[in-house]
Amino acid sequence: MRMQFYYCLFILLTQTFSTFAQEVSEDSLFQQEQVDLTPTKSKDELLASQYKEQGAYEKASLIYEDLYDKDPSPYLYKPLLECYIELKSFKKAEKLIKRARNKFDKTISYKVDEGYIKELQGEKEQADQIYQKLVDEFTGSQYTTLDLANAFLIRKRTDFAIKTYEKGILNGQNLNLYLAQLYIQDLQY
């Protein structure tokens, strides 16, 4: 146990210093003005966002549904899903997730959302099966590994994020820093 702690600390420190050095050199090379790539919100999006912030999820979801029907983008998916979750409209949430998965089948976070909805409905065993299947079956780049782990972290499933990083490391990916951070956060050292 003590050895794992020192290993995590060593990895964390070495990765932090090398990342810092790399960021400093990249920042000095690219001192350009940053451009905001966030889409401009329409009046309807602003109104829906305002309703959502005020807790008027039903009103917000109606506007987001209309916007999503016109433009089924990942940008509109998240707030609409959040409205459905707050309203406990799990059937609508499942339908939205399925629609998003069909349109953007490479986006792995939608599959995690599917498990999360099961979890919210009290079907933890089914959710865990979905999550485990994602970890077992995923293959891909370090980017894909990070994407899947982050999707688990967003849904507060650190246990599956750890499994994802461990599998990535077994596949030769340099994820030791990420894993060490999770061990330290979860006090699993």
Q: Look at residue 184 in the predicted model and tell me its pLDDT.
A: 85
Helix axis angle, 158-170 relative to 142-154, nearest 10°?
A: 170
Q: Look at residue 189 in the predicted model and tell me its pLDDT.
A: 46
Can you read off the two tokens belonging to residue 17?
């210093």
> How far is the CA of 64 from the CAs of 50, 70, 114, 157, in angstroms?
12, 10, 19, 27
**What is the C-alpha separation between 175 and 49, in angstroms, rounded?**
36
Can you read off the two tokens belonging to residue 76?
């509109």
- Greater confidence (113 vs 184) lies with 113
Model confidence at 127, in pLDDT bands (50, 70, 90)? Answer: very high
Q: 93-97, 107-111, 129-133 — which is least confidently predicted?
A: 107-111
pLDDT tens digits for range 139-162: 878 888 999 999 999 999 999 999
The pLDDT of residue 19 is above 50: no
| Percent helix, percent strand, percent coil in the chain, to nearest 5 | 75, 0, 25
Query: Which letter does DSSP use for residue 125 in this model?
Result: H
Could you identify the residue written with the tokens 């998965």?
A: 101
